[in-house]
């Protein structure tokens, strides 16, 4: 019987950014590779809500910023302000991870940074393959922030033979037909799809068949995947459309306000007359 398939394309919350790997403080273990020390349980295994999981990278980014400013401790209010959430929500989110704050002192920035990084799995190196090395694929392959945040690009794949002679970000572009070999060789769990929409499902199927269980999809297509495979969808055009909606609402509100002010002026003039 075939494996059930479902469309599980989750879009990240607006404003979220890729999490940064944290350096382990004295109380935490050193970074391991995927095949090394056993990582922390998956957030979902601990009963952490998906909305909280989506905010953990934001807290991590805020903590990294505080650490870079040599801030040793911070209150929940300070961390919440840096992350752009209210302090009550932050405290509730962190309560799912354990008790890391000290009353009257706040949070140890380095320790909380490590614990969140450990919880979301970026205290270990994750091998990643990128499929589709067009303009977007080139940009992703050249992005230097992945390596410092726990993600190591191990292969670039494209179906176009003319691209397979190119080198991008220090890696030669390989033929897509090598996907199974590369996934097995590098123990890849995460794949990035940056292909045109019409090719995305076929690429997804090959990645999953090769053993990839997490996919970041930049193609403007909804992917059907088996249970146990996670998909995160990034659609820049949709994000721009959402911003356009808000701009339109602001414009309409300004127009309405101008109309009200003009009407008030007319009424005031009639009364004075």
* Each residue's pLDDT tens digit, 48-74: 899 999 999 999 999 999 999 999 999
Q: 224, 204, 198, 228: which is closest to 216 by C-alpha? A: 204
| Residue 123 confidence (pLDDT) | 84
Q: Per the structure block, which two tokens stand in for 17?
A: 């950014």
- The CATH number assigned to the domain with range 20-120 reads 1.10.10.10
Does 81 score more than 50 pLDDT? yes
Picking from 56, 95, 101, the residue whose alpha carbon sits closest to that of residue 76 is 101
What are 224's two structure tokens? 């059907």
Average pLDDT of the residues in 211-229: 96
User: What pLDDT digit, counting tens, does each position of 114-128 carry?
Assistant: 999 999 888 888 999
> Average pLDDT, stretch 2-30?
46
DSSP 8-state class, residue 11: P
Q: Read off the pLDDT of residues 146-175 as tens digits, 9 standing for 90 and up.
A: 887 889 999 999 999 999 889 999 999 999
Beta bridge partners of 6: 225
Of 21-30, 177-186, 239-248, 262-271, which range is least confident? Answer: 21-30
pLDDT at 142: 93
CATH code 3.40.190.10 for 124-234: no
Non-local CB neighbours of 79 within 8 Å, separated by 6+ positions:
59, 62, 63, 66, 87, 90, 107
Provide the residue count of the chain. 273
Fill in the DSSP letter of residue 134.
S
Q: What is the pLDDT of residue 132?
A: 96
- Give the per-residue pLDDT at 18: 40
Give the separation between CA 63 and CA 86, rounded to whole angstroms. Answer: 15
What average pLDDT score do residues 211-237 get? Answer: 94
């Amino acid at each position: 019987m075939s494996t059930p398939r479902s469309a599980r394309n989750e879009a990240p919350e607006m404003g979220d950014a890729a999490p940064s790997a944290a350096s382990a403080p004295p109380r935490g273990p050193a970074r391991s590779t995927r095949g090394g020390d056993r990582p922390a349980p998956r957030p979902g295994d601990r009963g952490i809500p998906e909305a909280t999981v989506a905010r953990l990278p934001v807290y991590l980014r805020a903590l990294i910023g505080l650490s870079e400013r040599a801030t040793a401790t911070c209150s929940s209010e300070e961390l919440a302000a840096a992350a752009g959430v209210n302090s009550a929500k932050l405290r509730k989110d962190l309560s799912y991870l354990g008790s890391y704050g000290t009353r009257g002192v706040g949070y140890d920035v380095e320790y909380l940074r490590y614990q969140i990084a450990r919880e979301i799995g970026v205290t270990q190196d994750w091998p990643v393959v990128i499929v589709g090395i067009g303009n977007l694929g080139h940009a992703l392959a050249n992005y230097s922030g992945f390596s410092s945040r726990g993600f190591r690009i191990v292969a670039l794949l494209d179906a176009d033979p003319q691209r397979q002679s190119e080198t991008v970000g220090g890696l030669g572009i390989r033929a897509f037909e090598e996907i199974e070999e590369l996934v097995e060789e590098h123990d890849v769990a995460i794949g990035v799809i940056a292909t045109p929409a019409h090719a995305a499902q076929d690429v997804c199927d090959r990645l999953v068949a090769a053993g990839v269980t997490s996919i970041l999809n930049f193609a403007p297509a909804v992917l059907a995947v088996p249970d146990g495979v996670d998909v995160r969808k990034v659609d820049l055009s949709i994000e721009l459309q959402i911003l356009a909606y808000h701009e339109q609402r602001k414009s309409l509100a300004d127009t309405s306000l101008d109309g009200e002010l003009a009407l008030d002026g007319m009424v005031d003039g009639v009364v004075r007359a």
